[in-house]
């Protein structure tokens, strides 16, 4: 498995049978500056979305319609994207699991909001915010937490799914900060590898993973902090 950070909360996950984009926010993402969208999307089979905010839905519609990739998101978000022209999608909702060739995706809880503000200032609900738990055939399991704070039922997510790898939001203000994220990883999970995200993009969130890295010192979890556009091989 190869996991490539594409800035903010956007990732590409490549396995033997699938190439997945998660929250592909490219246009307007300061963390994606200098990266090539064609490289990021080449051979993509699926696009997984944690929730409906613009910095996570990002360029989904264009990428999906250009590549034919299947979009996996909560029902409300899928229907909203379908209304805008999305052709290939597979909706679900919290607690549900969808199986694909080579992997499955389960919608887990996240403590966050999920809405779109239209040009006339009206807020449109786009379902719940979620994390995404992925199990791969013959490979490590991966939890992208989405945008969230710490919550005690993370313990149940770990009990049910036992993720090997955690993608963890740490930027503060809109998600838990680095110190709290480290507490969540230590108290509720047993990750072999943790990859922080949702930092270093916009100036009003934390710019470095330092608080998270310090908070994880002395644990058996490997913390990987690739630069945007770089990969972690697992």
CATH 3.20.20.70 corresponds to the domain 2-233: no
Tell me: the pLDDT tens digits for 80-134? 999 999 999 999 999 999 999 999 999 999 999 999 888 888 888 999 999 999 9
Note the pLDDT of residue 73. 98
Report the C-alpha gap between 142 and 127 in whole angstroms: 23
Tell me: the pLDDT tens digits for 79-88? 999 999 999 9
Note the pLDDT of residue 122. 85
Domain ranges of the chain: 2-233
H/E stretch holding 2: strand 2-5
Note the pLDDT of residue 103. 98
Write a three-state SS string for 13-63. Answer: EECCCCEEEECCCCCCCHHHCCCCHHHHHCCCCEEECCCCCHHHHCCHHHH
* Backbone torsions φ then ψ of 79, nearest 5 degrees: -65, -35
* Backbone torsions φ then ψ of 165, nearest 5 degrees: -125, 135
Note the pLDDT of residue 138. 95
Residues in the chain with pLDDT values less than 50: none
């Amino acid at each position: 498995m190869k996991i490539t950070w594409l800035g903010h909360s956007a990732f590409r996950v490549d396995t033997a049978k699938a190439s997945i984009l998660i929250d592909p926010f490219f246009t307007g993402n300061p963390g994606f500056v200098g990266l090539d969208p064609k490289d990021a999307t080449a051979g993509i089979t699926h696009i997984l979305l944690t929730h409906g905010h613009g910095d996570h839905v990002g360029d989904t519609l264009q990428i999906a319609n250009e590549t034919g990739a299947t979009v996996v998101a909560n029902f409300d978000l899928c229907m909203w994207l379908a209304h805008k022209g999305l052709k290939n999608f597979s909706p679900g909702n919290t607690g549900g699991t969808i199986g694909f060739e080579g992997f499955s995706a389960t919608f887990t809880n996240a403590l966050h909001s999920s809405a779109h503000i239209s040009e006339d200032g009206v807020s449109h609900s786009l379902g719940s915010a979620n994390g995404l738990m992925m199990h791969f055939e013959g490979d490590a399991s991966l939890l992208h937490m989405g945008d969230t704070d710490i919550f005690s039922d993370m313990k149940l997510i770990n009990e049910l799914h036992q993720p090997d790898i955690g993608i963890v939001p740490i930027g503060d203000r809109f998600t838990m900060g680095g110190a709290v994220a480290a507490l969540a990883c230590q108290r509720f999970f047993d990750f072999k590898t943790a990859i922080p995200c949702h930092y270093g993009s916009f100036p009003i969130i934390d710019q470095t993973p330092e608080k998270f890295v310090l908070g994880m010192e002395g644990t058996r979890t490997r913390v990987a902090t690739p630069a945007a556009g770089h990969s972690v091989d697992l």
